[in-house]
Structure formats: structure tokens, C-alpha cells
Structure 1
Amino acid sequence: MATALITGGTSGIGAEFALQLAQSGTDIVIVARDEKRLLATATQLHAEYGITVETISADLAVRDDVMRIAERLTDDSRPIDIFINNAGFGVHARLTAEADLPVHEHAFDVMCRAVLILGGAAARGMRARGSGSIINLSSIAGLVTMGSYSAIKAWVASYSQGLSVELRNTAVTATALMPGWVVTEFHERAGIRTSSIPDFMWMDAATLVRGALRDAARGKVISIPTVRYRVIGWFARHLPRRTIRWISAKISSSRSDEGSESRGVKDTTKK
């Protein structure tokens, strides 16, 4: 029986990954900060699907906690077959605001440093065993230019492709998942106004995760579920960069909270 480790697996996209993998009979290791939510999620998944669920309480902004997860990923006695590098949060803070620097640093710790360390650990363990799948949560936002969040998600996409190059000619795959607007509590928690986003731009987490798991199983390096977001991604890659910057400015303006100059969310378990 396969085992999957999911960071940020108690809510949002991470919880949907846990649910769909549990439904397929995959044992789960869930990483999150909130011990009560970890216990509740583990209890529910085990009761409904009869799988084994291991929980690890960790804050991925803390390097020692990240290294504990890395050790779990490389434990040959309890191999991880699927790794979902999902933990993250929205960043709604100005690049030029000195007071917001800790928000950006925290975001890089969780969504770059932890992704780098954990992705590498998972790859080493899987390569040694001869099989495995890694999914790193990037975003369609990585194709535009909206502050540090776009920069971070562009890095995740580039990192995932570099990882896939190192894993070529092995049976281990690395996939960058690039969602668009997904119906979760992610945007509300980040203080991002979404009322201006057309209904057709939203997708549900179940659709996203089904597409991601299918693409990963096929060995795709970039996964952009749904035709509409693949079309958006194509234009984002081919339009002139000054046009992308203009579009990014319009999106940033439309989704900002009125009267608020900056706001950051410091939650390493929600996505």
C-alpha cells in the first residue's frame, strides 16, 4: 500500500489531496501546525476509509521542524511514495513597506526554503528506492507580477522543473501544480477581495486535485488543470512583459482591500 505525505493537509487544497488519496486506499502522513485539526482530520479519514493516518505537528517557518519532516521523508523503514509540498499562505503586502519585510521573509521561509529542503529530501529517498511522485504547489500567479507571492510561485515552478531534470531517467517524477482561483478559505485569510473575480474563473478543489494527481501519474512536469487556465497560462507566457505588468497592476488593484495598504497572513498550514 502506498503512503503519501502532505504538508498543510488539514484544510483547503491539502485536505482535498488527503481526501482523494485516502479514497484510493493510500495511507497518509499529514503535516500541519494545529494539533487539534490534525487529530480531527486523522480520525475522520481513518474512520471513513480504514487507512493508516500519521500526524506530524510542525511549523515550516522553523528550520528544525522542516528538518524533522525531511528525516521522515528519507526514512527507509517507512517509505513515502507521494509527496505533496502544499503548505503555504497568501501574501498581501507591499514590497516597498519596511514594516512588511517580516511577512515576506516568513513567506520565503515557508514556500521557498521548506519546499527546497523537503523536495530534495523526498527526491533522494524516492530515487534510492526507484519510484515516487513529488507535487509542488506553484500557482498561475507565478506567471504574472504581483509582489512576492508571484515571485515565490515562479520560483516553485522553476525549482520543480530543475528537480525533474535531475530526476530524468529515473522512475521519480516532479510536478509543479499551478492552480488559478480555487474555492477555499485561502483568499479570505489573506485579506484578498474576490468580489471582482468572474464566476467562470473559479474552480473547486476537487477538480484541481483530480487533475493534479492525473498529471503527476502521467509524469507531467507542469500541471495546469482545466482548459481555461491552460489558455490563460499560454497567454501569460507569450504576451509582452509590459502587458503582463499592466494586467498584474489591474488585478492587484481590483482585489485589494479598500483603505488597506498592506496585509500579510502568517499561516503555514492553509492553502
Structure 2
Amino acid sequence: MTTESSCPRCGAALDEGANFCGHCGLALVAHPSPFPPGVSSLALRERIAELTAERTNTDEVLSPLWALLPLIAVVFGTFIGILLIFTPSVEISLLIFMVGSIVALALLIILNYKLVDRYNKHLVREASLRRTMIEYTWTRGQERGTTDAIYPYVSALESIDRQALMDEQPRSPLWSLAFLIPIVGVVLYFYMLYFLTRFASVHDDRWHAFAYNIHLSSMVNGDMVPPPLPKYPQERSFILYLLLTIIFSPFLFYWYFKLVDDPNKHFQEMGAFEDGFLTATGRALTGL
């Protein structure tokens, strides 16, 4: 049975009880808001600005010189070994060996801790940023009456966010000490390198997809947020890097360089998008 009602977008006749127009696809039933009412897009933008300001404490761009710490540890250990050869006293030799080992291990622990800690801080900030950007996008759509048009983008944003929350869990700083554990220490150490290696490329892919959907939805909402910069960090094969390290151990120094430098590029790319988001939304909301 049909009624005389018609689609408000294309004018096509609608069946009674239809949830969408069979001609143009317009949703006829309002999508329920996934967020509590009462928060304006302007207030949410201010929260995004606060989270963006926090990146100076969480998204630390490390100097590539940090990657030299393992090399310094090896050089220092070699120097200690040479020194032991020319030390006649057993007691002094033992003391030199102990001090040298502690210093060499401390250098590696410091670098590992720095990388894991940066990983954790970034994940926590980005998770909050994603949720607030999604909420802003939906609220802005409600204010502009564009929720039907942005619904596919918001659904994609929600899906990306859920996947990130499942896959990207903060890691204990104790991972920086994992290689000290007898027998299984080597396995744990390389697992730490695995999740740090995966962080740069897979995480960046996910953020790029998220940012692009924010861009698309903003075009509908009238905010005109520019698209994200082209993806920079390349996907790096953990298996390949592991094999190269086993075959040629100095390759580990290059691996550490990438663990320092790849997130740097991601932070810079992400920071540029955040700045562009704030500029565009500020202009759209306040006319400034």
C-alpha cells in the first residue's frame, strides 16, 4: 500500500513505512546520535585544540642521534674488552667488566624505554583526539542538518577507531628491560622491536584513513578541512629486518634509526593535519 508522501530530496513517491527513498537513497529515519546531547561543536573544537596542544609532550620528535646509543654501547664494550687485556689485576679487571657491562646495558635500556614511552603517550593522546573529532563531526552535522550525508563517513570513522583501540594497546615500560630476562629475553626483545616497527607504518595507515574521512565529512559540513598529507612512513617487514639483523648484526643500528625516525615523520604529518583542522574549523565556526 502506498501513500501520497514523497521524498523531500527527489520528489519520488514513498511506500508507507519506508526507511529510505528507493530512488535516491535518502534516509527517512533519523540516525540516532551516538553522543550525548548538549555539547556544541565549538566546545568540542576547543577540546580538540587542547589535545593538539598536548602533542608537544606526547609526540616527541627525537633526534636521529638517539639511534647511536646501541652503537655507543658496542664501542664502549669493545673498549672495555681491550682495557681488560692490559689489566694485570683480576679484581680490577672484574670491576672494569662489571662497570662496562652496566653502562652498555643502561644505554640500550634508555633507548628502548624512550621508544616505548613515546609509543604509549602518542597512542593515549590520539585515542582521545579521534573520539573528540568523531563527536565534533557528528555534532557539526546535527547543527548543519547534514547527518544523513555524513553518516557513511562517521560510520567509517567509528570503525577505524574501534579497530585502533583493539590493535593499539599501550605497552608496559618494562618492555625496555625484556632482553635482560634469561633464556626468553631475546624473544621478548625482538617482540618489542616488532610492535615498535609495526607502529610506524600500520598506525600511520590507519591515521591517514581516519584523517581522510574527517576531510570528506568536513566538506559536507562546510568546514573545508584540507586532506592529510601524503603518507610518508613506508611499511617495513619485521621478518625481513629480523633476518637481515641475524645475517648481518650491524643492520640493527639501521633498524633503530628507523624506529626513531619513522614515528617522527608520522608526528609531523599528523601535526600538520591537526593544525589544518583547527584553522578550517575556526574559520567556519567563527568566521576568523
* TM > 0.5: no
More helix by share: 2
Structure with the higher fraction of residues in strand conformation: 1
Larger radius of gyration: 2
| TM-score, normalisation: structure 1 | 0.25
